[in-house]
Homo-oligomer: A and B are copies of this chain.
Amino acid sequence: MKLDELDMKILNELRENSRLSMSELGRRVNLSSPSVTERVRQMESFGVIKKYTVEVNYEKVGQPIQCIVEATVKNGDYQGFNKLIQRFSNIEFCYRVAGNACFLLKLQFNNFAEAEEFINTVNPIASTVTHFIFSEVKTNLKLDLT
């Protein structure tokens, strides 16, 4: 699927507010509502749009402890690591990466005890470096056509 500038505009609008109606979305990108609808449907079915979701303030939701963990799997037991982390529901992301570490994860916890518990659970399989998050410096993001 080839995206044009209009698709990018649509994505940027939806990224700012995914609850826009198709007609309002059309107004913002100067397109009729049937046209926007079709473009959006296309991007959904091609997987360009993965999910409509919500950004939550974890502190206000009772999970004030956030951290990013570098995990280096021992003895190349990637399967075991994969399996292990599946049971946690407080993982925002887990990426397989190049570099010293094998995986980078972001997690939320209700308190430090929970964080410790997680690390203890993982450590038999992977060594970890934990970066607790102090604050969010920047999060904006715009898509451009190259």
Contact = CB atoms under 8 A, between A and B. Distances in A.
Given A95-B137, A131-B97, A56 B86 contact: no
Given A48-B61, A61-B3, A82 B19 contact: no
A31 interface: no
A95 B134 contact: yes
Interface residues of A, number: 66
Interface on chain A toward B: helix, strand, loop, or mixed SS? mixed
A94 interface: yes
Contacts of A8: 61
A94 B139 contact: yes
A86 B54 CA distance: 24
